[in-house]
Amino acid sequence: MSKKFWLALCAGMLAMQVGAALAQATVSTPPPTANTPEAMVRQTLLKLVPKAKIEQIMPAPLPGFYQVIASGHLVYISSDGKYVMNGQLIDATKGTSLTDDAWAVYRKTELAKVPVSDRIVFAPENPKYTVTVFTDVTCPYCRVLHEQIKALNKEGIAVQYLAWPRSGVTGEDGQPTPTYKEMVSIWCASDRNDAFTEAKKGRDPKSADCKNPVKDQFDLGLKLGVTGTPAVYAEDGALIGGYLTPAQMLQAVQEHSTKGG
C-alpha cells in the first residue's frame, strides 16, 4: 500500500508540473473555487492521490504549510496547495523530529480509542509501563517476542496485542485470508491468551467465529502507518520497534514513558 501511495503521489506531482507548464504557455486559468487553506490542501492531495483517505489536516509547525495525515502517511502541503513535501521536519534548535512528534500525538489518540477488552493482554500484577503491539500469529519475530513475554512482564512491562494479519483481511479472490481466519478464531476463543500463546507456537486454534475486532484493528494499523509486524508503540504513541529484546524494550519504554509527566 505504501509503494502504491507514493507512486500515485509522484505521478500526480509530475502531472501537476506538466499542467502548470502548459498553463503558463496558454491563457491563464481561473483561480480555484475553494477559499480556505484547508480546502486547498485537501484539493491538492486528492488531485494527486484520488483514493487517499484523509484523516487529519492541521497547521504545521512550518509556517505556510499544513500537516496532513492520509492513508497511513504524513505529508506537508502549502496553504495555497502549490507545494507538497514528504520527509522528516526537523527542529534544528532541538535536534528533534517534529514529524515523529506529530505521529506520536496522533497515534496515542487513536490507540486510546481501542478498549482493553478488545486487546489480548499479558501484564504483570502492577505494570510500570505498557506497550501496544500490532502482531501476526505467523510472523517469526512476533513469535520470538512472545517467547519472551515472561521476561517483559518481569521488567514491569504490560504487553497489549492488537491483530494485524500481514496477508490482509481478504485475498485477491475476495475471500478471508487464512491468517485473518486464524486470528479471528483466537479473538473468539474462550481463553484468548491461551489460544494466542499456542498459535505463537505454531498450533492452529480451534476454529471459531464471533463478533470480533480483528478487521477494525487491521484497518487501524493501516491508518497509523503499520507496514509490518511486530509494530511496537510506547505509551506516548511513539513507534519504538520492530522486535526488541526485553532489555531494549525496557530502555525504550523508560525513554518514552509518560508516567508522572
Summarize pLDDT for 191-206 with one digit per residue, the tens.
Answer: 999 999 999 999 999 9
CA distance 37 to 65: 9
Q: Any idea where the domains of the chain sit in the sequence?
A: 2-99, 111-256
The domain 2-99 is classified under which CATH number: 3.10.450.70, 3.10.620.30, 3.30.420.40, 3.90.1310.10?
3.10.450.70
Q: Tell me the residue type at 36.
A: T
pLDDT score of 34: 54
Q: Which string of b and e fits 82-119 if b means at least 16 CB within 10 Å?
A: eebeeeebeeeeeeeebbbbbbbebbbebbeebeeeeb
Q: Which residues are catalytic?
A: 136, 139, 142, 166
CATH 3.40.30.10 at 111-256, yes or no: yes
pLDDT (tens place) for every residue of the chain, 261 residues total: 444 554 445 444 434 432 333 233 233 334 444 579 999 999 999 999 999 999 999 999 999 999 999 999 999 999 999 999 999 999 999 999 999 999 999 999 999 999 999 999 999 999 999 999 999 999 999 999 999 999 999 999 999 999 999 999 999 999 999 999 999 999 999 999 999 999 999 999 999 999 999 999 999 999 999 999 999 999 999 999 999 999 999 999 999 985 434
CA distance 159 to 166: 20
CA distance 62 to 20: 25
How confident is the prediction for the chain on average, in pLDDT? 88
